[in-house]
């Protein structure tokens, strides 16, 4: 039996996939989630559960006396658009939670703290693929919060806590909410197509992104949390270095659906980057990680999952 691992946000998309993977590896997994956006059914039954907010000191206090081989902080508000609705709430969800959890990890002498950050911290860049040393010019409150959390990690790393930041590019795949139309480009378009046979594209179809399948994203988390990693503070892009335009993504989704879908173009989204794709050379060199699922394959299995979910009446 491997050691205990803490996963925040395990009722959500990435967190639930990670929790299942860690359980399969033999870890005992404790999860914390406030269920504000995730679904309790996503948390594997074998996990020990705390239902509460990571930004609540009383919830963190429940960890006192526990030891973990690794802490994965996945929880938080996960989109740029909602951060404009309530910047203070975004701050509490994404920054206060990180600081409280970092302080606990430091006091508990946790071997490694892994944080799910975002490529949004880069803002708009001229040189691509974007590398980890590129300037950070966040364009949304969400991105500012992610970058602030990274800086708190840097400070705790200077005090001796091993911290790893993973800057995820657009992560997608089976299990992502198809009902949340404010986060996740693939899931938004697919959810719209299934519910109305129409896709609403906000902004130019020439905008572009770097899409990472959930199975590859989870593999990067597992590698980053391995005790053999040992670096005090490291930042990694989790990316494919493949540029995909919004137009190409929409056509790939439409090509996998068994019915026609209309595409409508509308106004832009506040704080949205026009385009970005990133280098994964550093994480490949240090951890041996590389993407394995192509966008063609990934969209095909995601659409197949969504259609099966809709047929079963469990679409959410």
Span 150-184, pLDDT tens digits: 999 999 999 999 999 999 999 999 999 998 887 89
What would the two tokens of residue 217 be? 């994203």
Distance of CA 97 to the CA centre of its chain: 16
- Percent of the chain exceeding pLDDT 70 equals 92
216-229: average pLDDT? 90
Instruction: Sort 116 into a burial class: Cβ within 10 Å, 0-12 / 13-18 / 19+.
Output: buried
Q: What is the CA radius of gyration of the chain?
A: 19
Domain edges within the chain: 4-171+212-238, 177-209+242-276+293-312
d(CA 282, CA 229): 13
Q: Is the pLDDT assigned to residue 268 strictly greater than 70?
A: yes
What would the two tokens of residue 36 be? 């504000």
| Per-residue confidence band for 2, with pLDDT thresholds at 50, 70 and 90 | low
Q: How far is CA 102 from CA 13, 50, 154, in A?
A: 22, 18, 10
- What phi, psi does 258 have (nearest 5°)? -85, 15
253 and 266 Cβ atoms separated by less than 8 Å: no
Range of weakest confidence among 75-89, 98-112, 188-202: 75-89
The chain-wide mean pLDDT, for the chain, equals 92
Q: How far is CA 152 from CA 157, 158, 225, in A?
A: 9, 10, 18
pTM passes above 0.75: yes
Cβ neighbours of residue 132 under 8 Å, at least 6 residues apart? 167, 235, 236, 237, 279, 282
Fold of 4-171+212-238: Rossmann fold (3.40.50)
Span 274-303, pLDDT tens digits: 999 999 999 999 999 999 999 999 999 999
Fold of 177-209+242-276+293-312: UDP-galactose 4-epimerase; domain 1 (3.90.25)
Sign of the four-CA dihedral 217, 175, 144, 199:
positive
Q: How far is CA 234 from CA 18, 155, 280, in A?
A: 20, 12, 13
Instruction: Give me the pLDDT at residue 149, please.
Output: 97
Known catalytic residues are 142
């Amino acid at each position: 039996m491997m050691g205990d691992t803490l996963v925040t946000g395990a009722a959500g998309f990435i967190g639930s996939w990670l929790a299942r993977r860690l359980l399969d590896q033999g870890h005992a997994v404790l999860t914390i989630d406030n269920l504000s956006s995730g679904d309790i059914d996503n948390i594997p039954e074998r996990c020990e559960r705390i239902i509460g907010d990571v930004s609540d000191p009383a919830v963190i206090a429940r960890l006192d006396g526990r030891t973990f081989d690794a802490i994965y902080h996945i929880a938080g508000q996960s989109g740029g658009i909602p951060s404009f609705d309530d910047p203070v709430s975004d701050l509490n969800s994404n920054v206060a939670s990180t600081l409280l959890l970092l302080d606990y990890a430091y006091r508990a002498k946790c071997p490694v703290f892994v944080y799910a950050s975002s490529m949004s911290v880069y803002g708009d860049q001229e040189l691509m693929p974007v590398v980890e040393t590129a300037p950070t010019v966040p364009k949304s409150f969400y991105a500012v919060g992610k970058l602030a959390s990274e800086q708190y990690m840097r400070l705790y790393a200077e005090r001796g806590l091993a911290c790893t930041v993973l800057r995820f590019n657009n992560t997608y795949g089976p299990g992502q909410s198809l009902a949340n139309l404010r986060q996740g480009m693939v899931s938004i378009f697919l959810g719209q197509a299934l519910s109305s046979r129409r896709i609403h594209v906000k902004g130019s179809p020439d905008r572009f992104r770097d899409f990472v399948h959930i199975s590859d994203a989870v593999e990067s988390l597992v590698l980053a949390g391995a005790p053999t990693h040992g670096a005090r503070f490291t930042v990694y892009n989790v990316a494919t270095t493949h540029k995909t335009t919004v137009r190409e993504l929409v056509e790939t989704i439409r090509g996998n659906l068994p019915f026609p879908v209309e595409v409508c173009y509308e106004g832009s989204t506040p704080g949205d980057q026009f385009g970005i794709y990133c280098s994964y050379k550093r994480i490949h060199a240090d951890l041996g990680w590389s993407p394995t699922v192509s966008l063609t394959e990934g969209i095909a299995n995601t659409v197949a999952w969504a259609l099966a979910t809709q047929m079963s009446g469990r679409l959410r």
